């Protein structure tokens, strides 16, 4: 069992449930089965109730993601500007598809709907850092840089 | 002595994504004792990283697309001509900057900056009035909700003010769910106090006792700036509304578009699944934990200080009967100058897209307004004035302000498919028509772009669309068919080309195109052969095997001679 003592910073009041799950994900990178049991106990809920809320929201990950999380934007602006191709380039480069993590646990890949930098479309982000005006070369360069880290 | 007073670096998310941070670091290192400030977004995202040099004589010069190299930085510090950025003339003459007055001009997290520029004077003014007088002023202004629905703001405030309850809740909708819109992000990042000032005025006028900001988690910088700004408000005791203190709490969204809908948002704020519910009761009757609750959008709140400062009547002088004041639009897509613009209501679409956005008049096909809930408007109708009512009459909506310019190179059927892909996944699943109906529409569109559609599919789409509109509880389902119905209305010929001839005129639909090497241009460098991830290009004669090809465009991008392109299906076959 992990140590979820940091939950104590949040008042165990039902309207804070999502906040608590967000905190868990920020700390652990995902919400494990253990975490669900802990959060449920903390809020005096049944684990299924927690899972029921969690499963509604796309933000929550139930499996451990890679060290670098690549989010290819597929919002409208990016879609119009060829996010399909960006996705294929990243996917080819890493050998994984949407929602997957590579064998070394280095990269995870998924799509998101709009990072708010539409004027630089197409964009993607790696661990929250946004890269804009992507073309194939830039994508390859960015991945190479992270591989070396 | 340098004639430079200070240097402002646009460091909102868009600036950072374009590379503002290394530029900032280098400027700080080289500028000596000239202050280098991190400011928000001036709206000229196409020119990011963008830097404004304010001179001691009061004038200023801007530098665009600045790189973190010696030459660019020296240009700036010596006020050289090279690299200067001028606001395009069309934009200068058509834009009317009011709400965004301070964006890019002040340090977003600096209290003194906001105060020195008249910040919180509107709140002071409001606190000297009766709550009812404040509401009357907002009513007079004619302000309508900027979150998409366009409901008269003053009326909504009146509903909440009329309630007596132990708690009354104020909610700021900062979920900005339209994928392709960034007005709210920009305003929150660049001038967080402005919307907070609007919220405090609203709390005073309506008697709200607690306030939430529901902000999408994809906006970390906005959340950070709001947190700092709220701390400053507490520190200066500006949340004291004539003896009544109000707390403002930020809640982060968790990635569900439907949570932008009022009742879903309230459920989410209660820690539940964000599923909408039937209205009435309206939130102002029974909202968060059963308390009367009122939701306004970020930009709506952002307008409020202006209304109080200049008076409702003065504010209402701008705009049309179908919408008063100015509106922010997030311009993106196929145009030269994407960015954030503020224009008076009543301006035409053409003025926004061509004069301000610098789009190519011969290249544009349509503009998508209102994101997945909206519709496209063809270029032939670009003389339409932009306000709530006129856009609705065209089958689009004003929405929150996302405007995506679509060029002739894009396929409208594929665009419609994109939106239904989005909405069918975002449907909360409560209503059968929304859940199953949007999925069927999506599948039908998938079939059509894959070249397996039939003419009867068009009728199917129309009839499904109308049924989903009727049979859905919330705005998501009610508006989800709009992108399809609008494209069927204005671009039916593109659908027909897909279903009758199995052709995509824009060469966008992968299943309806081939990839072909033009051997007159090819220099046999074989870069494409090396690049193709599936080995679809033969090394000996550089010919694409279109059965293997995944249409990833890699070879097209990599070819130094631009010898590879998409062609109509059948034209790329090895003869
Ligand atoms: C599916 C759906 C998504 C919505 N998303 C947003 C949003 O992201 N931001 C927003 O301000 N309003 C959104 N709205 C509109 C809100 O429900 C609501 O009308 C608005 O926040 C009210 O504020 P206003 O009167 O200031 O516009 C959405 C509505 C629906 C049905
Ligand atoms: S219309 Fe769709 S999103 Fe709205 S409540 Fe019904 S199923 Fe949910
Ligand atoms: S488009 Fe992609 S898959 Fe097709 S030939 Fe070119 S590189 Fe290969
Ligand atoms: S659509 Fe990609 S950042 Fe907005």
Q: How many C-beta atoms surround the C-beta of residue A65 within 10 A?
A: 21
C-alpha angle B211-B477-B257 in degrees, rounded to nearest 5: 45
CATH number of B412-500, picked from 1.10.460.10, 3.40.30.10, 1.20.1440.230, 3.40.190.10: 1.20.1440.230
Per DSSP, helices labelled H in B211-366 are 220-235, 262-269, 298-310, 312-315, 349-350
pLDDT at A149: 87
| Structural domain contains residue A135 | yes
> What pLDDT is attached to residue B398?
87
Residues A83 and A112 in one domain: yes
What's the CA gap between A2 and A66, in Å, rounded?
Answer: 19
Please tell me what DSSP assigns to residue B39.
E
Q: Are residues A43 and A85 in the same domain?
A: no
pLDDT at B1 over 70: no
CATH number for position A134: 3.40.30.10
Q: Burial letters for B165-179: b for 16+ Cβ neighbours within 10 Å, e otherwise?
A: eeebbbbbbbbbbbb
**Residue B541, both tokens:** 């004669």
Mean local confidence (pLDDT), A9-37: 95
**Kind plus residue range of the DSSP H or E element containing B560:** none
pLDDT value of position B574: 62
**A46/A79 same-domain check:** no
Number of domains chain A contains: 2
Q: State percent of chain B over pLDDT 70.
A: 99
Same domain, A99 and A40: no
Give the pLDDT confidence score for residue B224 in this predicted structure. 97
Q: Determine the structural domain holding residue A12 and report its residue range.
A: 2-56
Please give the pLDDT value at position B450: 96
Of the pLDDT bands very low, low, confident and very high (cuts 50, 70, 90), residue B348 is very high
Nearest CA in chain B to A25: B254
- What's the A145 CA to ligand 3 centre distance in angstroms? 25
Decide: B504 in ligand 2 pocket, CB within 6 A. no
Q: What is the ipTM of this complex?
A: 0.94
Q: Exposed (0-12), middle (13-18) or buried (19+): which is B555, by Cβ within 10 Å?
A: buried
| CA of B409 relative to ligand 2 center, distance in Å | 33
Cα dihedral B33, B37, B43, B47 sign: positive
- Looking at the fold, whether A48 and A97 belong to one and the same domain comes out as no
Of B41, B38, B52, B39, the residue nearest B85 (C-alpha): B52
Give domain B4-86's CATH superfamily: Glutaredoxin (3.40.30.10)
Identify whether residues A17 and A75 lie together within a single domain: no
Whether residue A65 has its Cβ less than 6 Å from ligand 4: no
* B179 pocket-lining for ligand 4 (C-beta < 6 Å): yes
Facing A80 at nearest CB: one of B45, B333, B372: B333
Does residue B575 register a pLDDT over 60?
A: no
**Top mutation candidate among B257, B263, B427 for ligand 2, by most atoms within 8 Å of CB:** B427
A81-134 pLDDT per residue, tens: 999 999 999 999 999 999 999 999 999 999 999 999 999 999 999 999 999 999
- CATH class, domain B111-314, is alpha beta
Q: Is residue A61 part of a domain?
A: no
Confidence of residue B149 (pLDDT cuts 50, 70, 90): confident
pLDDT of B344 above 80: yes
- Looking at residue A37, what is its pLDDT? 96
Compute the average pLDDT of residues B347-362.
96
Regarding the domain delimited by B513-568, which CATH topology (the fold level of the hierarchy) does it fall under? Alpha-Beta Plaits (3.30.70)
Q: Which of A36, A56, A76 is the last residue of a domain?
A: A56
Asked whether B7 and B35 are in contact (CB, 8 A), the reply is: yes
Nearest protein Cα to ligand 2, atom 6: B431
CA–CA distance from B80 to each of B21, B74, B75 (Å)?
22, 8, 5
CATH class for the domain made up of B323-407: alpha beta
Residue A1 pLDDT level (bands cut at 50, 70, 90): low
Chain A's closest residue to B19, CA to CA, is A131
| DSSP secondary structure, A15-48, as one string | GGHHHHHHHHHHHHSS--HHHHHHHHHHHT--HH
Q: What is the mean pLDDT of chain B?
A: 96
Residue A2: pLDDT over 90: no
């Amino acid at each position: 069992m992990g140590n979820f003592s940091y939950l104590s910073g949040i008042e165990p009041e039902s309207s804070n449930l999502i906040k608590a799950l967000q905190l868990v994900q920020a700390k652990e990178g995902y919400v494990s089965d253990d975490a669900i049991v802990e959060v449920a106990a903390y809020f005096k809920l049944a684990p299924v109730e927690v899972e029921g809320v969690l499963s509604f929201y796309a933000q929550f990950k139930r499996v451990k993601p890679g060290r670098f999380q690549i989010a290819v934007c597929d919002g409208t602006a990016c879609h119009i500007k060829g996010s399909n191709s960006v996705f294929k380039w990243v996917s080819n480069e890493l050998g994984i598809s949407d929602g997957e993590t590579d064998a070394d646990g280095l990269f995870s890949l998924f799509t998101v709907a709009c990072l708010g930098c539409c004027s630089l479309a197409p964009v993607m982000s790696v661990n929250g850092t946004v890269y804009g005006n992507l073309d194939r070369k830039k994508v390859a360069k960015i991945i190479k840089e992270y591989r070396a880290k | 002595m340098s004639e430079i007073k200070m240097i402002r670096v646009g460091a909102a998310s868009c600036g950072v994504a374009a590379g503002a941070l290394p530029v900032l670091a280098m400027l700080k290192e080289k500028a000596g004792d000239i202050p280098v400030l991190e400011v928000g977004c001036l709206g000229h995202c196409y020119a990011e990283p963008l830097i404004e040099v304010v001179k001691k004589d009061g004038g200023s010069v801007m530098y665009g697309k600045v790189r973190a190299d010696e030459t660019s930085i020296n240009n700036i510090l010596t006020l050289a001509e090279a690299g200067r950025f001028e606001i395009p003339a069309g934009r200068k003459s058509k834009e009317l900057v009011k709400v965004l007055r301070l964006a890019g001009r002040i340090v977003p997290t600096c209290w003194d900056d906001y105060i020195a520029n008249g910040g919180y004077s509107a709140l002071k003014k409001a606190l000297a009035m009766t709550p009812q007088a404040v509401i009357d002023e907002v009513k007079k202004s004619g302000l309508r909700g900027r979150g998409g629905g366009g409901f008269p703001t003053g009326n909504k405030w009146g509903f909440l003010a009329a309630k007596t309850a132990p708690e009354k809740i104020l909610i700021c909708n900062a979920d900005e769910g339209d994928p392709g819109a960034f007005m709210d992000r920009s305003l929150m990042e660049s001038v967080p106090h402005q919307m907070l000032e609007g919220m405090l005025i609203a709390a005073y006028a309506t008697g709200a006792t607690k306030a939430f900001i529901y902000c999408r988690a994809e906006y970390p910088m906005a959340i950070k700036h709001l947190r700092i700004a709220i701390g400053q408000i507490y520190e200066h005791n500006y949340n004291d509304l004539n003896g009544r203190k109000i707390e403002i709490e930020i809640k982060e969204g968790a990635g569900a578009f439907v949570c932008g809908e009022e009742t879903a948002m309230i459920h989410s704020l209660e820690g539940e699944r964000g599923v909408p519910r039937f209205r009435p009761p309206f939130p102002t009757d029974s909202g968060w934990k059963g308390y009367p609750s009122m939701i306004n959008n970020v930009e709506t709140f952002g307008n409020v200080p202006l209304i109080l400062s200049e008076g409702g009547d003065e504010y209402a002088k701008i705009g049309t009967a179908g919408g008063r004041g100015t509106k922010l639009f997030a311009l993106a897509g196929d145009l030269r100058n994407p960015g954030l613009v503020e224009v008076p209501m009543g301006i035409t679409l053409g003025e926004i897209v061509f004069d301000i956005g610098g789009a190519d008049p011969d290249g544009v096909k349509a503009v998508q307004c209102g994101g997945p809930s909206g519709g496209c408007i063809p270029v032939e109708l670009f003389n339409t004035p932009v306000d709530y009512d006129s856009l609705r009459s065209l089958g689009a909506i004003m929405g929150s302000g996302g405007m995506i310019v679509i060029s002739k190179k894009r396929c409208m059927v594929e665009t419609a498919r994109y939106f239904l892909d989005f909405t069918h996944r975002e449907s909360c699943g409560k209503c059968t028509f929304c859940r199953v109906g949007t999925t069927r529409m999506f599948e039908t569109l998938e079939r059509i772009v894959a070249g397996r559609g039939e003419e009867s599919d068009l009728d199917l789409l129309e009839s499904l669309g109308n049924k989903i509109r009727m049979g859905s509880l919330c705005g998501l389902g009610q508006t989800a068919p709009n992108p399809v119905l609008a494209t069927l209305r204005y671009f039916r010929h593109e659908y027909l080309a897909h279903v009758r001839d199995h052709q995509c005129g824009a060469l966008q639909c992968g299943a309806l195109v081939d990839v072909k090497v033009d051997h007159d241009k090819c220099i046999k460098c074989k870069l494409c052969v090396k690049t193709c991830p599936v080995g679809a290009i033969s090394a000996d004669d550089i010919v694409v095997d279109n059965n293997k090809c995944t249409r990833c465009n890699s070879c097209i991008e990599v070819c130094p001679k631009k010898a590879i392109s998409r062609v109509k299906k059948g034209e790329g076959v090895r003869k």
